């Protein structure tokens, strides 16, 4: 069994817009950092798989897929923030297929952990709409394949990006076979992810949001994980954990106002990995989402990789140069009450 497998999006540089923060350098600095650490060449890279059309249409509406394809043909924007080029249709499918390949490798026992450098990112892509730099919901498509085609009964998606993954929440809102848990800055884009959003129908109680006010940092993240996310995962007993990882909670991110460090993100991923070792045979796959400071991209991704490998990590960027806010405490108390913890 491989200890870790990667997905790298070949040719992803063709998806870019001048001056846009979601740029190819985000992935390239991650790869360069992993190469310097000696990890990139040590572990296998998986090629993307082709996702069947019927699977794609279970996650995204045919109308949206048609719109996306047509917009990519001519280039332009899905909304004010979300650009596409003539290569974006192919590259979005490649990213989604790479995420599926990594998740399947972990699920089938070919690898212990996986890290998919999915670009374009995905967690804002809803059933019928792309937005927030996201075209296809990579992690949702991977979850769908593992459940519908590989036979899993319960998966968990833990979203640690700065922004709430409204697309992933939207897709699984009424389903009980995927437990979506997110901690994120709030109030902030995209304006969703509040405590009272807990799912509906069969998905009631399978959607958990823990919004953090600006200025929250490592202490808030670790408390949310230890007191809320990890107990809920233990209660749910997923057969595999997928992680939407963004490095934009880092204190240096130009678009965010959280104050997490790379060490704090490393510690958080390591806690999830340790729980996975007890409840789902260690099956964890990480999907890249957002984050826009290039030094943080490299440093945080080294920490995430170290956590997946159960290895130590040194945070070369250090703690935030500002005091962390303590305004998150009431949210945690309210969340404990809502979830009976």
Residue 134 contacts residue 79 (beta carbons within 8 Å)? no
Conformational region of residue 222, where left means phi above 0, alpha means psi within -120 to 50, and beta covers everything else: alpha
Residues 6 or more apart in contact with residue 88 via CB below 8 angstroms: 14, 15, 72, 120, 135
Q: Is the pLDDT of residue 150 over 90?
A: no
Q: Give 202-239 pLDDT, tens digit per residue.
A: 999 999 999 999 999 999 999 999 999 999 999 999 99
DSSP string, 50-77: PPPHHHHHHHS-HHHHHHHHHHHHH-EE
Q: Is 60 a catalytic residue?
A: no
Amino acid 239: pLDDT: 98
pLDDT for 320 beyond 90: yes
Neighbouring-strand partners of residue 45: 6
φ, ψ for residue 191, nearest 5 deg = 85, 15
CA atoms within 13 A on the CB side of 258: 30
Identify the CA nearest to 327 among candidates 212, 194, 189. 212
Give me 51's structure tokens.
């996702």
Element holding 276 (H helix, E strand): helix 262-279
Task: Give yes or no for a contact between 296 and 317, defined as CB atoms under 8 angstroms apart.
Answer: yes
Any idea which fold 2-339 has? 3.40.800
Q: What is the mean pLDDT of residues 196-204?
A: 98
Q: Tell me which residue has tokens 């595999």.
A: 240
The pLDDT value recorded for residue 153 is 97
CA atoms within 13 A on the CB side of 109: 1
Q: Where along the chain do its domains lie?
A: 2-339
Q: Is the pLDDT of residue 39 over 90?
A: yes
DSSP type of residue 283: -
pLDDT at 304: 98
Give the integer Cα–Cα distance in Å for 39 and 33. Answer: 9
What stretch of H or E contains 190? none
Does the structure show a pLDDT above 90 at 167? yes
Question: What's the pLDDT tens digit per position in 113-126?
Answer: 999 999 999 999 99
For the cut 90, the answer to whether the pLDDT of residue 104 exceeds it is yes
Please identify which of the residues 12, 124, 163, 250 carries the catalytic annotation. Answer: 124
Bridge partners, residue 5, by sequence: 44, 114
């Amino acid at each position: 069994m491989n200890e870790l497998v990667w997905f790298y999006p070949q040719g992803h540089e063709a998806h870019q817009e001048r001056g846009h923060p979601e740029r190819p350098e985000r992935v390239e600095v991650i790869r360069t950092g992993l190469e310097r650490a000696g990890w990139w060449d040590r572990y296998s890279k998986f090629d993307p798989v082709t996702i069947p059309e019927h699977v794609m249409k279970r996650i995204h509406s045919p109308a949206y897929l048609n719109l996306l394809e047509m917009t990519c043909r001519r280039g332009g924007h899905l909304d004010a923030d979300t650009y596409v080029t003539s290569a974006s249709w192919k590259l979005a499918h490649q990213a989604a297929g790479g995420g599926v390949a990594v998740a399947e490798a972990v699920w089938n026992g070919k690898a212990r952990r996986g890290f998919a450098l999915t670009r374009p990112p995905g967690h804002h892509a809803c059933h019928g709409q792309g937005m927030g730099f996201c075209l296809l919901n990579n992690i949702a498509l991977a979850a769908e394949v593992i459940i519908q085609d590989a036979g899993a009964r319960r998966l968990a998606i833990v979203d640690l990006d700065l922004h709430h993954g409204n697309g992933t929440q939207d897709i699984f809102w009424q389903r009980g076979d995927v437990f979506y848990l997110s901690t994120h800055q709030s109030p902030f884009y995209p304006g969703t992810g509040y405590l009272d959003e807990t799912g509906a129908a069969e998905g009631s109680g399978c959607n958990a949001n823990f919004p953090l006010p600006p200025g929250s940092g490592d202490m808030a993240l670790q408390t949310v994980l230890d007191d809320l996310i990890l107990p809920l995962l233990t209660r749910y007993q997923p057969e595999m954990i997928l992680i939407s990882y963004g490095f934009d909670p880092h204190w240096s991110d130009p678009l965010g106002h959280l104050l997490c460090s790379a060490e704090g993100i490393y510690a958080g991923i390591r806690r999830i990995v340790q729980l996975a070792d007890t409840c789902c045979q260690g099956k964890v796959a990480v999907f890249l989402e957002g984050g826009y400071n290039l030094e943080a991209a490299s440093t945080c991704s080294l920490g995430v990789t170290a956590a997946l490998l159960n290895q130590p990590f040194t945070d070369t960027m250090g703690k935030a140069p500002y005091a962390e806010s303590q305004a998150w405490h009431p949210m945690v108390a309210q969340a404990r009450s809502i979830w009976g913890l």
